[in-house]
Amino acid sequence: MEQYRFEIEGPAGKIEAHAYDPGQNRRGIALIAHPHPLFGGTMDNKVVQTLAKSFLELGYLSVRFNFRGVGESSGIHDDGRGETEDAAALVEFLKKKVGDLPLALAGFSFGGFVQARLAQNIDPEKIALVAPAVKKFDVPAVKGKILLIHGEEDEVIPLADLFEWARPQGHPVVVLPGAGHFFHGRLTQIKKIVIDTFKD
């Protein structure tokens, strides 16, 4: 395994990204999106790093990236529109780099909203959304193999809101009892859930 930071030219300029790369025996590509940049969200968020490491363990080239205006990424916050375009540009770049491997999308909070938007235009094999920002944003319905993880005591995105979003789609929700929005002390649990769900 190697890890490295890299940059690509996206629709609004530079996109800063970080890869965990398992090497030649890659099972797929995983793209992970971070929480809201105007509230301190970056690709170095602990939940985002946990998702990236989970997919690395599953054999994926696992890439997280900074949204517009965060870190070395160019541009300014675009309420999910430009962020979705940037994520799509990264998917295209990664598929050219390593081949048309199965794609997994993962996102935490605002990043979950962006990935649900991206999933409308491409066909990911797997989707993992952790505390997606339903109600705060117009998160579209998603289909396919989806994992939803939420904290019982989420103080930012109430669990009832996620149930309301998931119910008409028939998606199951994995609830971590006692966990808040930032999943303090629960990262190992998140990793196990992701790996157990997607290992087959």
- pLDDT one-digit tens code per residue, 119-167: 999 989 999 999 999 999 999 999 989 999 999 999 999 999 999 999 9
Question: With contact defined as beta carbons under 8 Å apart, do 115 and 85 qualify?
Answer: no
C-alpha torsion 139→160→107→154, nearest 10: 140
Q: In terms of DSSP bridges, do strands 103-108 and 60-65 run parallel, antiparallel, or are they unpaired?
A: unpaired
**For residue 24, what pLDDT is reported?**
87
Domains of the chain are 2-198 (3.40.50.1820)
The model's pLDDT over 66-104, given as tens digits with 9 standing for 90+, comes to: 999 999 999 999 999 999 999 999 999 999 999 999 999
Please tell me whether the overall predicted TM-score, pTM, comes out greater than 0.95 for this model: yes
Residues 188, 65: Cα–Cα separation, whole Å:
22
- For residue 20, list its beta bridge partners: 3, 62
Of 146, 147, 148, 150, give the one whose Cα is nearest residue 175. Answer: 150
- For residue 8, list its beta bridge partners: 15
Q: Provide the pLDDT confidence category of residue 112 given band limits of 50, 70 and 90.
A: very high
